[in-house]
Structure 1
């Protein structure tokens, strides 16, 4: 989220990177895999009302990720690079150049590639082949701050934050399909309803929440909460959206049952509440408090905080992913130029890894789940 600094002071080639862009200190291995055929999108089956994350438990990998290297991808927004980390050794393996200000690394709906969203300068989406961790040719795309996918896999949704719109594109070729203008400023993060037909989206610059009907291509309702709303995450039972607000220093509870968003409550978590990540067993929600260097832990069943983990010496935990086995939480340190690795059982910081400047939307891949809905850790 760029404005947060004001608060705190045709076909697609998945191949090698052009030599003029390479800055790696260690050369990645050459790909030995054949080009994968593009699968036909299919609508997912409902997972039921009890746990929308039921298909993303530890070990529940899709056959689509067979052959993918286990890696953590860190977009460094201030030096226009992506760091590639081996999570077993905690070592940065190599770093490669992308277009200006990469914001997030996003797994595709079919889990066959990842996309690096760069929304400044040339503006583009750069694909990464997870079988090699190597980037391909960037695709010019207007203002891609973030990227999501409809549950049926028919559309990728480019979140054009500065343009105040959502651009629906082909999820494989990124060719434009249609656009939806939104009546707010700074649309950035969202999550899907249990049915997948609509989303609750946060608009950080105007302090609004929008309930958007993707099927009907219209905004059904809005709620002005003020502040600076950030990440959005649906509860496992599909009843409540949690919305982190960096200015309010906590999370709002928003009713997920109706067309118009309704505020049910607010929970203070810590200064600069920002990223939201469910535990692998969907019993807890991890909330990064970027302004105070901590992570708050919420119990989904009681909707109460049960722990707070503090980074020794402080820090700026931002976006990231839970590890596939659920034992670790990986978060970028936005203003600290590092990555934090937390033990999700004890809350201890296991490792602090030096990366590039301004790390943001970190992704740990592969992950359990049948498909990706986008952002950095949103699987069903």
Structure 2
């Protein structure tokens, strides 16, 4: 393990140079950058994942809350949403600088890319706004019937599913700009996810402690599954077969089988578990897929074996861990610690099930005040 003292003292740089000159061996780093949004300052940190060090700090007009990748990786662009200033900024990942900005005319909650456009979910006014990524100009907004909470996109059909504060769920045909009649559920809705085949929606009822399944074509409620917690955080396996849920009410992770529309089990985790991420090894038979669960109060990460649905490791990572991102090569899990202002790096191959149930940290990287979101760009 490399200590924080070594990093701050500059000792990591020499080791990073050696790593960069080697072939891609396990543990030698990832050929790319992690771009980290810091909500405590108007900046995005560019972290070299071969050197494991911040190489640039990209100044922005306002603190960002989230980052979105351009759907075409050849464009080398990412986008930063800043709700307080109601703006969106474009960042050139190769030059590592801000290139353009846009005033959104409302408060953005989230954004997702679809067919050359970035769709921004706006709370005030309640609309879905398309942004042309070539010109960075806003198109005609689609009005929503109520202030939204969250949304998801079904890429093939070009559908958006939006949950609202009043307990309604609406489907939106993006190409036609058409909002279908709402599905009336209960107030206190949270996240929403399309099933991988697009035929079913999973809707989190945070106040009702339920997971709702809604048929996409008919917009009819299929079933409601009671939960032992408020489904505040949702995480889907890459194959779309399992949905993991955490939230207030239970120190546990709920596992739902989305094609069977049933709860598989509820597994104990750390104190008040929060954000999650999954590593996948589809081309490596016998190698475990891992679910990483942040435990903000404990300053730790719990690691589940997705195949066996058992805890294999718990490791301390820093103060108030939040977002977790896995590198595309599945070598590293990156954990953003909001209170301590750093990024913990876990080498996934070092996770060894056993009595110790530990996953040693590979390194810690100071990234800035209150890191809240990150995206990974290969080869920049």
Q: What TM-score, normalized by structure 1, do the two folds share? A: 0.62
Q: For the residues of structure 2 that align with 1:295 and 1:90, how far apart are their CA atoms? A: 31
Larger relative strand fraction: 2
Aligned to 2:183, which of 187, 212, 223?
223
Gaps of 5+ in 2: 1-9, 11-29, 271-293, 300-319
Aligned to 1:107, which of 62, 69, 72?
69
Q: For the residues of structure 1 that align with 2:138 and 2:42, how far apart are their CA atoms? A: 25
State which drifts further: 315-324 or 112-121: 315-324
Tell me, yes or no, if structure 1 residue 360 matches structure 2 residue 341: no
Gaps of 5+ in 1: 1-25, 27-67, 368-380
Distance apart, 1:108 and its partner CA: 1.5
Aligned to 1:314, which of 298, 320, 331?
298
Tell me, yes or no, if structure 1 residue 265 matches structure 2 residue 209: no
Distance apart, 1:320 and its partner CA: 5.0
Tell me, yes or no, if structure 1 residue 255 matches structure 2 residue 226: no
Q: Is the 8 A contact 2:38 2:44 kept in 1?
A: yes
Tell me, yes or no, if structure 1 residue 96 matches structure 2 residue 58: yes
Distance apart, 1:115 and its partner CA: 0.3
Distance apart, 1:217 and its partner CA: 1.2
Relative contact order (alpha carbons < 8 A, sep ≥ 6): 1 or 2 greater? 1
The correspondence of residues 265-304 of structure 1 with structure 2, limited to 5 A, is 265-266=224-225, 268=227, 270-271=229-230, 273-274=232-233, 276-289=234-247, 296-302=254-260, 303-304=262-263
Q: What TM-score, normalized by structure 2, do the two folds share? A: 0.62
Q: Is the 8 A contact 2:91 2:100 kept in 1?
A: no
Distance apart, 1:336 and its partner CA: 6.9
Structure 1 residues 254 and 355: alpha-carbon distance in aligned structure 2, compared to 1, 3 A threshold? farther
Tell me, yes or no, if structure 1 residue 158 matches structure 2 residue 103: no
Distance apart, 1:157 and its partner CA: 1.6
| Matched residues, number | 294
Structure 1 residues 326 and 340: alpha-carbon distance in aligned structure 2, compared to 1, 3 A threshold? same
Distance apart, 1:118 and its partner CA: 0.9
Q: Is the 8 A contact 2:225 2:263 kept in 1?
A: no
Q: Is the 8 A contact 2:59 2:98 kept in 1?
A: no
Show the counterpart of 1:240.
200
Which has the higher Rg, Structure 1 or Structure 2?
Answer: 2
Q: For the residues of structure 1 that align with 2:345 and 2:258, how far apart are their CA atoms? A: 22
Structure 1 residues 350 and 207: alpha-carbon distance in aligned structure 2, compared to 1, 3 A threshold? farther
